Amino acid sequence: NTIFMVSKNQIKLITSLQQKKYRKQEQLFFVEGVKGVQELLDSNFELHELFTTKADFGSVSKSKVHTITADELKKISALTTPNTCLATFKIPAAVTFEEKGLIVALDDVRDPGNLGTIIRLCDWFGIKTLFCSEESVDVYNPKVVQATMGSISRVNVVYGNLEKLLSETKLPVYGTFMDGKNIYKETLPNEGIIVMGNEANGISKAVENLVSQRIAIPRFGDLQATESLNVATATAIILSEFKR
C-alpha cells in the first residue's frame, strides 16, 4: 500500500469540523479509533473518507481509504494521543420525531462527555429517541461522538424547542428535583418524557412549569453534603428504575 500524504485542504477541512459552524456547512463530522469507526461503518452512516495507519478495513471501497503514517494522523487528530484511524462521515438528514415509548429530553446539557454517556445509556436501556433543547451541546461534536462509543448510530438524537414539545405532548412529563417524589417508591409508566437538566442549574423555570411528575433520587449519605449527581449518572439511575 502506498503511503498517502494528507493535503493542506484535507487538514484544514478536518480540523474545521471541530467547530459546529463548519460541521453544519460541510454536513460532515469525524470519529477516531477502530471501534468507533467500525461501528459507524456497520451502520447507516455514509463514509466520506477514512485515514488509517493500519490497512484493516476490508469492507470499505478502496477509493475512500487512505493509508497514512502516524505523523500524518497527528495533523488531523483531535486527540492528545491519536488513535490508529480517523474517518469523516456525512451528517444524515434529521429524523422525524415519534412521540411513543420512553423519551429522554435534555434541557441545555452542555458537557460533551455527559451527552455521549447519555446516548450510550439510551442505547443500553433501549430508548430510541433522545430529544435535545437547541442550547444543548451538538451531538456531532468530536468529544460527544468519541464518548458515545458507537451508540450514536443506534439512538435518534433530535434537536428542537423543548418548551414547545412539552406543552403539546400527550405523554406524562417527568423531571428530577430535590423535592420530587422518591423514585424508588413510584409506579413508573412505559411511556413518557423524562427531562434531565443542565449541569449547573438543573431544569430551567420555563421547562419546570411543564413537568407533570416531579421525581427525586433520594440521598442516603449521612452528611447529605453532596450538592447533586452528575446528570449522566442520574440518567442511568432513572432509566434503570423506569425499566425495572
For 113-154, what is each residue's pLDDT tens digit?
999 999 999 999 999 999 999 999 999 999 999 999 889 999
The whole-number pLDDT of residue 223 equals 67
200 confidence band (pLDDT: 50, 70, 90): very high
Least reliable range by pLDDT among 34-48, 142-156, 162-176, 220-234: 220-234
The answer to whether 51 and 66 have CB atoms below 8 angstroms apart is: yes
* Joined grid coordinates for residue 138: 451538538
Cell of 147: 464518548
The answer on pLDDT for 179 being more than 80 is yes
Judged against a pLDDT cut of 80, whether residue 1 lies above it is answered with no
**Predicted pLDDT at 148:** 93
Residue type, 149: M
Res 230: pLDDT: 93
Q: Which three cell numbers stand for residue 172?
A: 406524562
Is the pLDDT reported for residue 3 higher than 90? no
Chain segment 84-119, per-residue pLDDT in tens: 999 999 999 988 888 999 999 999 999 999 999 999
Asked if the model's pLDDT at residue 225 lies above 70, the reply is no
Contact 39, 146 (CB under 8 A): no
> pTM of this prediction?
0.93
**Quick one: pLDDT at residue 60?**
86
Collapsing DSSP states into helix, strand and coil, what is residue 70?
helix
Q: Residue 142 corresponds to which cell in the numbers above?
A: 468530536
Q: State how far the Cα of 196 lies from the Cα of 176, in Å rounded to an integer.
A: 7
CA dist., res. 64 & res. 232, Å (int): 36
Residue pLDDT, tens place only, 23-76: 999 999 999 999 899 999 999 999 999 999 987 777 788 889 999 999 999 999
Find all residues with CB under 8 Å of 152, minimum gap 6, and list them.
40, 119, 139, 144, 145
pLDDT band at 226 (very low <50, low <70, confident <90, very high): low
**C-alpha atoms less than 13 angstroms from C-alpha of 211 in its C-beta half-sphere:** 22
Q: Radius of gyration (Cα) for the chain, nearest Å? A: 20
Name the CA dihedral angle for 193, 196, 202, 203, rounded to a multiple of 10 degrees.
Answer: -20
